[in-house]
Amino acid sequence: MLEAGMDPEATTFVDVTLGEMAGALQRGEVDIAAATGPALADMRAQLGVVDVLDLGTGPLADYPSLSYVANAEWARANPNTVAAFQCAVVVKGETLVAEDDDAYMAALTGPEVGFTREAVEASPKLNFPAANDAEKLQIAAEVQQAVGLTETEFDMSSVVVPLPTNC
């Protein structure tokens, strides 16, 4: 955060479960939340959020299994904060854990995530994307339409904030 010019003292970190993220975002208790699966679909549909970071894994690397989302109005009003978050988490942090096995293990077994070493070793290594690729994210909308979750075509590029190029 310091390298990105953010003041950690001006940031409040809130510990909530994935199930509580949507409510916390809706109530304005958090500005950025993590969501996956049905919770992510509901947040997109109900809260009008935009993706600021997408994480795909293993053979489903092109399918967004986890995204960081932000209230679209807040994201538009705070582009520098969104860019700093993306640079710190995606460009620097995720590059580190993708390239350094010790950093990867520490990130997933630390108190913030809390997986056991055995669980991490037994799972495929997460594939961290180099960009928020709206075209790849479009797969999620197409899959949902193909399996009948929605009849409406949806253009993911309308809700994806591209990563900054000047981190």
CA distances from 51 to 68, 93, 111, 117 (A): 6, 18, 25, 30
Per-domain boundaries in the chain:
8-88+134-158
pLDDT at site 4: 65
Strand order in the sheet with 49-57: 32-35, 66-71, 49-57, 126-127
pTM for the full model?
0.46
How many angstroms separate the CA atoms of 90 and 132, rounded? 9
pLDDT at site 129: 56
pLDDT at site 73: 87
How many angstroms separate the CA atoms of 68 and 18, rounded? 11
pLDDT at site 60: 43
| CATH level 3 topology of 8-88+134-158 | D-Maltodextrin-Binding Protein; domain 2 (3.40.190)
Tens place of pLDDT per residue across the chain (167 aa):
676 677 878 877 777 776 688 888 889 888 888 776 556 767 877 888 887 766 554 444 555 455 677 888 888 899 888 888 888 777 677 777 777 888 888 877 887 767 778 877 776 666 555 566 777 778 777 777 776 767 888 887 877 777 777 87
pLDDT at site 48: 83
